[in-house]
Chains A and B, each alone.
Chain A
């Protein structure tokens, strides 16, 4: 159901040499990479919400790295961001982390440190995407329930026994059992515990 796409590393840095060296490094380890000269160029590019991560210079003329992060957050982007910071940029790095960046790395850096962080970020992105896909699936299943089935589901998840549910909904216990079986089937739940977990997964305010 989830179509696996090869993740891309997006690099945004105004310094041509830094940008190009990163492109070459990522190429050398076989990671697809796209580089951008400015934050605006990155926003303007057609990315189709491809999986990957963003390696972002915190300090740039025009739109800064922090401003780009803010814009991406506003768009509910889940793209993990690794900030590249210079000497003395700690306060900005702190701000970036508070705004949800996965990590930051100070220039000049060891290539392995950066690659490790990129791999972690890509893992995180893949995880987020998997979770997002799963939640979408659960939501679709929930949407397939009839209103009555949904009522039964809510009471089941609330931990009530069939008899109690029958009483609450003014149904026969048998009818409740039938609804419950339909719910388990539509939700593709292996067990009661699995069903509860799925419902909680989508009903939690934020993952």
Chain B
């Protein structure tokens, strides 16, 4: 017996030991599992609640055991759960068991969180028991949502900016990506489906006049020499013309093999159109200002043309009378004829300069010798000065560096400043009536042009608004002269400002960069 007992006892001990061991292992599994593990019976009463479950739901094991699993669910699942279990027990129809799904769960503090739920039925037990595995997916959900939102935002941003992006592979094998906005920009529907090769893009989209330039840009990018940064026009399948700004880069692997292209395409049609309109407007305004300057100078110009005409008429009549004399002096007659020729050319020259100045023409930058340009302007400027009984003195430093500028716009600026100087001296005494037009090389190598008067100077309130469009101190001024002059100078990469003259009056200065590279766009 003892032996039997002992045997039995040993067997029982062994069995107990084995069962104890299983129990310990079972607990260890429950406590070590990262996922929350909950065991319920066929009523939904909680039988077991793992450590992770305690952490996830905020319940102590002791307080939750014996409660219904409903406690761990938010409405409406909470009220519906008994029904689910009944149906399963009655029909065996599983909705969740062995499937796993994403559900909402409820912590002790009432807060609700998303989780992945997998439920298994413990086999071979009646009434049945179920084991649930629950993983809190709050973080993953948040990440997902963030991703979704950032995708949505990106999409919206692309739509708003009219910007599309793409990833393209050199061979058809790669996983190409074209953002929806890019498709819209290029007028391609997703259904088109087929891959557009670079050659096809050049052929079917890029405007013929830009094709060569774009192809060259692509080629440079392929060699890795430079990323693509190019503006060009495309013609969409429906005939619409668009301006694009295309930025792209070729990516290579560490063996220097071309992997893919990553790029953005910005539809700048509207901006371009606005820029074009603004430029046309600015050019018209500039031209208008030149015309109005000429209008103000009309009297002086008429005078300037009248002089040679008068001389010609008088010389011609003098010649006729000299020839009619009994002993005409040939020398006088020849001299007069030479003068007639010279004066006709002089009148023609005034008209040529005038026409050049008022012509509505394309803005064209070219290398310019400032001194020569100002000499050329002298006739026009002096015309006006003489009319107002003012001396014009040129003080030109030579040689000056060549500047890169539009000659007519430059003359417009100088003429405008000279006219202002003349107007500023309308009421000053004879000895002060002088305008000095000087050039010099500024300390930084720029060419500086100075127009100095000895007038009444500027009132403080005038100084403040000097460069505002439509601000004028003159009875018949447009108020555009200085505003336009400044914008012209700025467009040439220079500055326009004023200082008080040493004794009295004002000096207007402007600079122009000596090197062509320093000049910016219009």
- Chain A residues packing against B (C-beta within 8 Å): 15, 17-18, 20-22, 24-25, 27-29, 59-62, 64, 86-88, 107-112
Residues facing A in B406-423 (CB within 8 A) are none
Q: In the assembly, what is the distance between CA of A86 and CA of B305, in Å?
A: 10
Question: Contacts A87-B302, A87-B303; is A24 near B387 (CB within 8 Å)?
Answer: no
Q: In the assembly, what is the distance between CA of A27 and CA of B343, in Å?
A: 20
A18's partner among B307, B325, B387, B391 (CB-CB below 8 A) is B307
Chain A positions within 8 Å of B335 at CB level: 24
Q: In the assembly, what is the distance between CA of A86 and CA of B301, in Å?
A: 11
Question: Contacts A18-B307, A21-B336; is A61 near B386 (CB within 8 Å)?
Answer: yes
- A108:B306 contact, CB within 8 angstroms: yes
Chain B positions within 8 Å of A109 at CB level: 310, 313
How close is A62's CB to chain B, nearest CB, in angstroms? 8
- A21:B310 contact, CB within 8 angstroms: yes
Q: In the assembly, what is the distance between CA of A25 and CA of B325, in Å?
A: 12
Chain A positions within 8 Å of B302 at CB level: 86-88
Chain A positions within 8 Å of B317 at CB level: 25, 110-112
CB of B308 within 8 A of chain A? yes
- B321:A25 contact, CB within 8 angstroms: yes
- B314:A21 contact, CB within 8 angstroms: yes
Residues facing A in B287-325 (CB within 8 A) are 299, 302-303, 306-315, 317-318, 321-322, 325
Chain A positions within 8 Å of B339 at CB level: 17, 20-21
Q: Given known contacts A28-B322, A111-B317, what 18 new A-B pairs fall within 8 Å (CB)?
A: A17-B307, A17-B343, A17-B346, A18-B311, A21-B339, A24-B314, A24-B318, A25-B318, A61-B389, A86-B302, A86-B303, A87-B299, A88-B302, A107-B307, A108-B306, A108-B312, A109-B310, A109-B313
CB of B332 within 8 A of chain A? yes
Chain A positions within 8 Å of B313 at CB level: 108-111
Q: 6 smallest A-B Cβ distances: which pairs? A: A28-B321, A21-B314, A17-B311, A111-B317, A108-B310, A25-B318
CB-defined A-B contacts under 8 Å, sample of 12: A15-B307, A17-B308, A24-B332, A24-B336, A25-B318, A27-B318, A27-B322, A28-B322, A28-B332, A62-B430, A107-B309, A111-B321
- A21:B299 contact, CB within 8 angstroms: no
- B314:A25 contact, CB within 8 angstroms: yes
How close is A11's CB to chain B, nearest CB, in angstroms? 11
A28's partner among B311, B325, B386, B390 (CB-CB below 8 A) is B325
User: Interface code B361-393, partner A: CB below 8 Å = 1, 0 otherwise?
Assistant: 000000000000000000000000011011100
Q: In the assembly, what is the distance between CA of A59 and CA of B384, in Å?
A: 12
Q: In the assembly, what is the distance between CA of A14 and CA of B306, in Å?
A: 14
How close is B120's CB to chain A, nearest CB, in angstroms? 110
How close is A192's CB to chain B, nearest CB, in angstroms? 51
- A59:B336 contact, CB within 8 angstroms: no
Q: Which residue of B lies closest to A114 (CB)?
A: B314
Q: In the assembly, what is the distance between CA of A22 and CA of B311, in Å?
A: 8
Chain A positions within 8 Å of B311 at CB level: 15, 17-18, 20-21
How close is B436's CB to chain A, nearest CB, in angstroms? 15
Q: In the assembly, what is the distance between CA of A106 and CA of B407, in Å?
A: 36
- A107:B318 contact, CB within 8 angstroms: no
Chain A positions within 8 Å of B310 at CB level: 18, 21, 107-109
Q: In the assembly, what is the distance between CA of A28 and CA of B65, in Å?
A: 139
Q: Which residue of B lies closest to A86 (CB)?
A: B303
Q: In the assembly, what is the distance between CA of A28 and CA of B308, in Å?
A: 20
B318's partner among A15, A21, A59, A110 (CB-CB below 8 A) is A21
Q: Which residue of B lies closest to A26 (CB)?
A: B318
Q: In the assembly, what is the distance between CA of A22 and CA of B307, in Å?
A: 12
Question: Contacts A17-B308, A29-B321, A108-B306; is A61 near B343 (CB within 8 Å)?
Answer: no
B315's partner among A15, A24, A59 (CB-CB below 8 A) is A24
Chain B positions within 8 Å of A112 at CB level: 317
- B314:A22 contact, CB within 8 angstroms: yes
Question: Contacts A20-B339, A21-B315, A22-B314; is A64 near B306 (CB within 8 Å)?
Answer: no
User: Interface code B334-359, partner A: CB below 8 Å = 1, 0 otherwise?
Assistant: 01100100110010000000000000
- B343:A28 contact, CB within 8 angstroms: no
- B389:A64 contact, CB within 8 angstroms: yes
Chain B positions within 8 Å of A29 at CB level: 321
Q: In the assembly, what is the distance between CA of A21 and CA of B339, in Å?
A: 9
How close is A3's CB to chain B, nearest CB, in angstroms? 29
Q: In the assembly, what is the distance between CA of A25 and CA of B340, in Å?
A: 13
Q: In the assembly, what is the distance between CA of A128 and CA of B508, in Å?
A: 54
- A59:B306 contact, CB within 8 angstroms: no
Chain B positions within 8 Å of A59 at CB level: 303, 386-387, 389
How close is A190's CB to chain B, nearest CB, in angstroms? 45
Q: Which residue of A lies closest to B325 (CB)?
A: A28
Question: Contacts A18-B314, A61-B391; is A24 near B343 (CB within 8 Å)?
Answer: no
Q: Which residue of B lies closest to A57 (CB)?
A: B307
Q: In the assembly, what is the distance between CA of A27 and CA of B328, in Å?
A: 11
Interface centre among B303, B308, B325, B386 (most CB of A within 10 A): B303
Chain B positions within 8 Å of A27 at CB level: 318, 322, 332
How close is B255's CB to chain A, nearest CB, in angstroms? 81
How close is B498's CB to chain A, nearest CB, in angstroms? 26
Chain A positions within 8 Å of B303 at CB level: 59, 86-87
How close is B13's CB to chain A, nearest CB, in angstroms? 136
Chain B positions within 8 Å of A88 at CB level: 299, 302
- A108:B309 contact, CB within 8 angstroms: yes
